[in-house]
């Protein structure tokens, strides 16, 4: 039975704005999808599509990664968990956006997505190994 996770106030100061930005990013992305149709338009609508999706994914991946670290971690929650979750959230968001971009261009294959994921893992390993 997992124990309840109680976060100190200092972490809520960072996580609440991140959750709000993520929610607003998802709402903006839904509005772009249903009102502007990025497949028929170019220019600013595609920029809005990718920017709103990027913000939504960063927030979601970061919150998910931080939550998993708090739930699975044996040690005390630290700022290190938050920075690692943010960095990995950015990397996963970039991989996702590149896959969506490849899909829009019609060149996405399974090995392209796998290669992007391997590159993200190598970048994360390089950053982690330098510390």
The full set of domain ranges for the chain reads 9-130
Distance CA 64, CA 54 (A): 15
Write down the pLDDT at residue 8: 61
Residue segments in the chain with a per-residue pLDDT below the cut of 70: 1-11, 37-39, 41, 74-77
Write down the pLDDT at residue 9: 67
Write down the pLDDT at residue 73: 73
Sign of the Cα pseudo-torsion (87, 93, 97, 100, in order): positive
Write down the pLDDT at residue 1: 47
Distance CA 53, CA 98 (A): 12
Write down the pLDDT at residue 44: 83
């Amino acid at each position: 039975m997992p124990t309840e996770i109680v976060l100190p106030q200092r972490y809520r100061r960072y996580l609440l704005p991140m959750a709000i930005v993520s929610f607003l990013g998802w709402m903006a992305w839904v509005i772009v999808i249903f009102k502007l149709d990025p497949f028929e338009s170019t220019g600013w609508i595609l920029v809005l599509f990718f920017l709103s999706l990027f913000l939504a994914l960063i927030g979601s991946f970061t919150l998910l990664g931080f939550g998993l670290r708090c739930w699975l971690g044996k040690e005390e929650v630290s700022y290190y968990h938050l920075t690692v979750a943010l960095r990995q959230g950015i990397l996963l968001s970039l991989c996702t956006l590149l896959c969506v971009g490849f899909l829009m261009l019609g060149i996405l294959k399974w090995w392209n997505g796998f290669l992007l994921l391997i590159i993200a893992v190598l970048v994360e390993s390089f950053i982690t190994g330098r510390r």
